[in-house]
Amino acid sequence: MKRSRELLILRPDNIGDVVLFSGCLEQIRRIYPDHRITLAVQPHIVNLVELCPWVDRVIAINVRRRGPTRLSRLVQAMAMGMDRWRRVLGTRYDVVLFPLKSPDPEQLVLVRNHAAPSVMGMTGCRVNAPPGGYHPPLAPESLCNRTLDVGGAEPWRHELETNLAFLRFLGCPVAAVREIAPVVWLSDADRAFAQRAVSVPGPVIGIFPCASDPRKNWNLGNYVPWARAMESPGAFVVFGSPRDLKTTSALAASLKAACPAVPMVSLAGKTTLRQLAACIGVCDILLSVDSAGLHLGIAAGVPTVGILGGWHYGRFAPWGDPARHRIVTHHLPCFGCNLMCTKPFHECLHSVRPDDVAACCNELMRAATGKEPRYSSGEHQQWPRFTSGIQRKE
């Protein structure tokens, strides 16, 4: 029996990056209809994408981070060597896609460990390269047979635009970003969980206060004056990961003390990623910092207010109809610093005023509850979407 051709998509980056890439999976299936497609993501992200109908299987892949000591470097080298042997003895891939614009060296090791006759990636962006550049054997152009050079592109163009360029590089005729809009695949159980967990009177305001990098978090003391400036919240729902429990618990307590008549639900650390996405989807609006939660809100089609700094402004910002998805920031000439801030504090983020955030939230809330005309009709208005889980091919 003829062996089916194997294709591996390597996405060893963060939750938000995978969400932004999710809309590309259907297009990749169309380009490679006769391949068995495997999607590799970090272990904690598997739950989010395992119901995707456009791939045949989802596997967990670990990014081995380097340690500071000789012993940890030795352990690191041994672990990477074991990983490589497991790949050699495991599935043999005919095609490997590595659609990361700015990989770090540890992610590039995964490409080396998954060598295939055809490896396609990107080159030209050194945002996450070591100070002296990539070591030649681990440079993207050394590991890939074909590379899309993104070095001449606008450095902070939106990630969806970069994804679109990569699909065209593969030969996909996709014409516009709206065709690769982010999507999350949910089961009926996920939706039922959300209805039970967010069983509070509306309008419901979701709050996602923590990013994976705490430097992106808005000052916790800003949320009480923001909440007091909200016109008629029906309930607050606080989201976050298990590692955010200290911050989210303090936030929930402060909001409850400031607004005792407003029901409070804290779901931080109590959901899977798909359940989190489903719970965000039943909110009327979502307030979030620069986090995966913000991108999940976009995918849900929930009106969002994102509090962003200028570190890579534009690249990972919410994408969609600006009447539904607002960005609040403090513009400075140093935007694009990649979190290499030269100021005493991240002024672009921490100068954002609670009353300005509340004004955006109130405007979106009035539209969501029918107290003002609905959002303007733009070409992006309908593209954020959820789909129920579809049985995948075995």
What residue ranges do the domains of the chain occupy? 5-180, 185-388
Percent above pLDDT 70 for the chain: 86
DSSP letters, 35-94, are: EEEEEEE-GGGHHHHTT-TTSSEEEE----PPPSSHHHHHHHHHHHHHHHHHHHHSPPPS
Band (295; pLDDT cuts 50, 70, 90): very high
Structure tokens at 51: 């119901």
Q: Is the pLDDT of residue 311 over 50?
A: yes
The per-residue pLDDT for 320 is: 79
The per-residue pLDDT for 153 is: 83
Model confidence over 59-84: pLDDT tens digits? 999 986 655 444 455 544 544 554 55
* 185-388: CATH superfamily: Glycogen Phosphorylase B; (3.40.50.2000)
Q: Domain 5-180 falls in which CATH fold?
A: Rossmann fold (3.40.50)
Q: Is the pLDDT of residue 23 over 80?
A: yes
Strand 304-307 with 325-328, pairing: parallel
Say what the pTM is: 0.87
CA-based nearest residue to 47, from 55, 61, 38, 58: 58
Model confidence over 223-273: pLDDT tens digits? 999 999 999 889 999 999 999 999 999 999 999 999 999 999 999 999 999
Q: Terminal CA-to-CA distance of the chain, rounded, Å?
A: 17
Model confidence over 82-102: pLDDT tens digits? 455 445 444 689 999 999 999
Residue 71, CB half-sphere, CA atoms under 13 Å: how many? 0
Give me the residue label for tokens 């800003």: 222
Average pLDDT score over residue span 37-44 = 98
How big, in percent rounded to 5, are the helix, strand and coil portions of the chain? 40, 15, 45
Strand 304-307 with 285-289, pairing: parallel
Backbone angles phi, psi at 271, to 5 degrees: -135, 155
The per-residue pLDDT for 91 is: 64
The per-residue pLDDT for 65 is: 62
Q: Which of 5-19, 196-210, 251-265, 322-336 has the lowest mean pLDDT?
A: 322-336
The per-residue pLDDT for 50 is: 97
Average pLDDT score over residue span 106-111 = 94
Longest Cα separation, the chain = 68
Q: Is the pLDDT of residue 378 over 50?
A: no
